[in-house]
Amino acid sequence: MSIERLKELTQKLNYYAYQYYVLDEPVVSDYEYDMALRELSSLEEKYPEHKDPYSLTSRVGGEVLKGFESVEHLVPMQSLTDAFSKEEILEFDERVRGALSEDYEYVVEYKIDGLSVSLEYENGFFVRGSTRGDGNVGEDVTQNLKTIRSIPLRLKSAPQRLEVRGEVFIGKEDFEKLNKAREERKEPLFANARNAAAGSLRQLDSSVTKDRRLDIYIFNIQSSTGKSFKTHYEGLMYLKEQGFKVVPCEGVYENIEKAFDRVLKIGKERDKLRFDIDGAVIKINDISQREKLGTTSKCPRWAVAYKFPAEMKKTKLLDIIVQVGRTGAVTPNAVLEPVHVAGSTVSRATLHNIDFIEEKDIYIGDNVYIRKAGDIIPEVVGAEAKDRTGKERKFTMPSVCPECGAPLKRAEGEAAYRCTGNSCPAKLSRRIIHFASRDAMDIEGLGPRIVEQLLETGLISSCADLYYLKKEEIAQMEKMGEKSAENLLSAIEESKKRGLSRLLFAFGIRLSGKRASLSLAENFVSLDNIMNLEISDMAEIYDIGEKMATNVYNFFKDEENLKMIERLKAAGVKMTHDREKAESKRLEGKSFVITGKFEGLSRDGISAMIEKNGGKVLSAVSKNADFLVAGEKAGSKLKKAQDLGISIIDLSAIYDMIEE
């Protein structure tokens, strides 16, 4: 009887999950579902030989992976050509018309703002899932994808082999809950739902991924063995029958005008959707016509993505407060009535500086427009003067630091006011947080909450003090204990090996970023050498310049900084640079500037690839650059490169150069 019950529950739960996660039409309460799942799990433990290998209880693995294996895509996962105006959409249609001699029709779909993945099935069973990566090679994230309840582990009646492509995302409501929980635990918040989805899918522990409530929409058949389809729409309907959660698609459109009308309608629906989109995709429906149109090395010629403009919302400016940064810069920040913008609820936004506030004529109490710069950092764009009631009030910068009371000073030619206090606690806190950050000394576990506790208890008063902490001191802090203390000390010890480039960046010298820190380390090899340089020695290096060189020079003349460096040296922190040998000289003599966003590869990753092959990466566009590597949302650098006649290439062109 128990074995029959096990089989009955397996079948019932698969049905419940399909109704809830795919159709969004639950047929039982959450409690009833959870009780049935618990009962099934208990029966499976009792009768393991009768457990269905694709049972819902198998969606979370029991072990933590050591890393992700690479997956070479049999069908490249290409990106799409972007369009930002109706004119560009019409140009796309003209190219299609010129290449096809017969009638054609379009389908239009949401462009979901998530992470693209491939799902592979053999004889109806889910066998592997992978990220897009660079389009040709991705990472195997099968165990994490199994935690997504809307992905069927077994299909109803599938061909011998089937590969589909979809977009993993986190719904708006689930993203808000996720960030709220992180805020309560004093953990860093995710900037947007897309970043959260990408980070969740790359967790080595699938139980963490499960808690993030990821979802997916399938939007394409990559390949199919044993079954063919005449049109894309037919393929989507087939996938729907197989139990996939298919991207909403209303039908087909006989011409580009009707297709674009649907795009505009999707734009109006954007706020009402339960997930984030950043555009709409127009595709040729007929599969044979797609084959005639073909692809470039990067994009299919049979599809185009219309990108919506950056989302902007109106809300009330309740107050303006100032925040002290690690360099002492005092930045005005807007306190807002909470508003949902580009994937998250915003209640704070930057106002840049006092000049911006005065130029935009912004008053406390105004209705203001908010957007996210680069889809990440909330900023105030401007105020709606016609909404004013007369109760609004003008903002003035304070004369003293809100944290330490020291006078604020504005240097000639600068927009920012700065705190002049040498012992300002806000400057110190943010300086240490920066010192421990991933791109600097990368001290895992040393987040803002721990830094604040260490400062409040008097255990540290500078970055160097981190290397003299004792286990018993840390263990006595709130929510720490011996194990946490051991882990933190281990991370601090490991950070000693980071090297000169990371150490220079960790110092947080004004205007000196990662690229400049690497240039200094590459050129002068040791910290002692840099400390003995004159301004003119550093200013000669490309990527440095006189202003930055002056800041570096002044940093190493400050008595407090010199004391900190001596203590770091005594603690055994590495202060030299190991020059990496180039793996090849294929890019030798070529200089690149990188701008924009690249799916599956960070700009740091692209920089490393260029440098390992003998190329040089520059931080700014100038006549010294040979190429501009442009990704999505390339901004002012793209225009400057065009004006200077610099060659503009995509990521695939770099791969081609390296392969050659």
Segment holding 116, helix H or strand E: strand 115-122
Q: How far is 658 from 644, CA to CA, in rounded Å? A: 25
Is the CB of residue 430 less than 8 Å from the CB of residue 327?
Answer: no
Check 7, 51, 86, 111 and give the catalytic one. 111
Given the structure tokens 């990371």, which residue do they identify? 502
Strand ranges in 133-214 using DSSP code E only, listed in sequence order: 137-139, 161-169
Q: Please name the residue ranges forming H helices in 412-499.
A: 425-435, 448-456, 471-475, 481-495
* DSSP string of 287-328, one letter each residue: HHHHHHH-B-SSSBTTEEEEEPPPP-EEEEEEEEEEEE-TTS
Q: Give burial (CB, 10 Å; 0-12/13-18/19+) of 268.
A: exposed
Ramachandran sector of residue 195 (left: φ over 0; alpha: ψ -120 to 50; beta: rest) = alpha
CA distance 558 to 431: 16
Written as one string, the DSSP assignment of 247-282 is PP---EESSHHHHHHHHHHHHHHGGGSSS-EEEEEE
Given CA atoms 180, 181, 184, 189 in this order, what sign does their dihedral have? negative
Contact 463, 504 (CB under 8 A): no
660: amino acid identity, one letter: E
Helix, strand, coil fractions of the chain, as percent rounded to 5: 40, 20, 40
Residue 131 identity (one-letter amino acid): T
For residues 508 and 434, the answer to whether their CB atoms sit within 8 Å is yes
The values of phi and psi at residue 593, to 5°, are -120, 135
CA distance 275 to 175: 9
DSSP H or E segment with residue 126: strand 125-131
**The two structure tokens encoding residue 122:** 């053999």
Query: Quick check: is 581 catalytic?
Result: no
Rounded Cα gap, residues 528 and 566, in angstroms: 11
* Residue 128 in tokens: 């592997």
**Relative orientation angle of helices 256-269 and 86-99, to the nearest 10 degrees:** 140
Among the listed residues 275, 262, 344, the one whose alpha carbon sits nearest the alpha carbon of residue 306: 262
> Which SS3 state, helix, strand or coil, does residue 375 take?
coil
Residue 648 amino acid letter: I
Q: Which residues are catalytic?
A: 111
